[in-house]
Amino acid sequence: MRFSNKLRVLMALLVCAMFVAAAPAYAKAKMVRVYKGKPAKYVFLFIGDGMGLPQKGATEAFTGEQLLMNTFPAQGMTTTYAADRFITGSAASATSLASGQKTNIGMLGMAPNQKHVKSIAEMAKADGKKVGIVSSVSIDHATPAAFYAHVPTRGQYYDIDVALSESDFDFFGGGGLKDITNKKKNSKNYKGNALELIKKAGYKVVTDKEEFMALKPADGKVISWNAWLQDSKALPYAMDMRPQDITLPEFTSKAIEMLDNPEGFFLMVEGGKIDWACHANDATAFIKNTIAFDDSIKEAVEFAKKHPKETLIVVTGDHECGGLTLGFAGTKYGSYYDALKSQTISFQQFSDEVVKLWKEEHKGNASFEDFQPTITHFFGLEFEGDAKKNPLVVKDYQLAMLKEAYERTMKGEKKFKNPELYNLYGGYDPLTVTITHVLNNNAGLGWTSYKHTGVPVATSAMGVGSSSFNGYYDNVDIAYKIMAIMGMTPKVHASINNAEFAVK
């Protein structure tokens, strides 16, 4: 059937009009409470940043064990799109999860029209509960910030740090603070050093592990981060951690201890470096961080066993990252996840320390063959043997890729505007990302992106009202369901094609 151009335009306008007309009805439907029982006293929200179904599946295949989050009685699927883009960003997604508000990419704690919205954490605090925020990335990063800050641009770290000082939340733990002095000059409301404001607000600052482990509820409000922050004020990757480092499960356990009180609490825990490892296409690093994330969930489950009729635990992802596939053309139906166990450090530590030192010592005078033993030592890849029998053996075409990447790394090349080179390396060190690609591909894993994707993620729940989380729903619904189970009423705004409305 053929249509005239005018008819095509008319049909498109009708579709748009139907979407706009349906929008208010969709928002009003959010007023329907899905839970009418006794409110939960203790509520946990775990967010695996970048954790889609492939990340969970790969982790289970690697360990040979089912993730605890996958054993929860309620299992659902969740869409993640932002208000202005199909593939979401962490700020927009976190705002949806924190408040039930669809918003634009980069915005935190506000609607597209920049009207502030209340998060679950803020409402819990106003209701007399204690509140904790834990993350393996900086505590002012997009996901944690969505629970206490309201800014139009997620990069306003100084303003976010000031908002933290004014939140009156009881516990912050994990990564550090990115801009306490407004060095980026993107704040128009400078109030002084943000860390000093945090201290003046009554927070005890703790970075030593021994002091951290000794904390007690009587110490009052606490903000704590690990002494060694690996990249962008984040915790080290789980596989790079030393005994003196504070792990995500330890931060979670201490948060529970500090928050436990008769009035109840709300605790959000983010596994942020799952996402960062997937951006860099490092399978072993994201798997080890997913395991650490699941171990953090175990701490909540142990608490729930003591309060089974008063606790809700919800686990979700904010989006998938990397376009991970559990299968690779080069291995056909083959999966060899044990090969990943040969990798001993993350891409980050390898590029930051090993590659950097090699360049400084050799200044471009060493060959790729000289560097091969180093690759074998840290990643297990072998340059001799039968590639058909051993997935760790580098194939001829892969060897050519590694040699080319090595030359680019030795020349200091990193940012690639050429689309072909960007598809090969993203914004990462060419040699490091090529090594992880070779190892991951030989294990039977493929990557399609260095960014997020639009596939739905899994959500699971146990405890009070957990059956609400069965089924297929959007990420804003997670916030609405949690609010209903906590006895709260959502306060959001929405804007679709300039049609504004509020849900009370």
pLDDT in tens, 477-490: 999 999 999 999 88
Task: Determine if the pTM surpasses 0.95.
Answer: no
pLDDT in tens, 306-316: 999 999 999 99
Q: What's the pLDDT score for residue 35?
A: 83
Are the beta carbons of 102 and 91 closer than 8 angstroms?
no
Other CB atoms within a 10 A radius of the CB of residue 218 amount to: 6
What would the mean pLDDT of 187-211 be, rounded to a whole number? Answer: 97
- Is the model's pLDDT at 1 over the cut of 50? no
* Distance between CA atoms of residues 116 and 146, nearest Å: 11
Q: What's the pLDDT score for residue 363?
A: 86
Two tokens, residue 347: 């891409």
pLDDT in tens, 405-418: 999 999 998 889 89
The crossing angle, in degrees rounded to 10, of helices 430-443 and 283-306 is 70
pLDDT in tens, 82-103: 999 999 999 999 999 999 999 9
* Distance between CA atoms of residues 135 and 150, nearest Å: 18
How does the average pLDDT of the chain come out, rounded? Answer: 92
* Distance between CA atoms of residues 223 and 423, nearest Å: 40
Other CB atoms within a 10 A radius of the CB of residue 246 amount to: 23
- Is the model's pLDDT at 202 over the cut of 80? yes
What would the mean pLDDT of 59-64 be, rounded to a whole number? Answer: 98
pLDDT above 70 coverage of the chain, percent:
91
pLDDT band at 3 (very low <50, low <70, confident <90, very high): very low
pLDDT band at 4 (very low <50, low <70, confident <90, very high): low
Q: What angle do CA 147, 150, 156 make, to 5 degrees?
A: 105
Tell me the CA distances in angstroms from 40 to 296, 327, 475, 484, one per residue in order. 20, 41, 20, 9
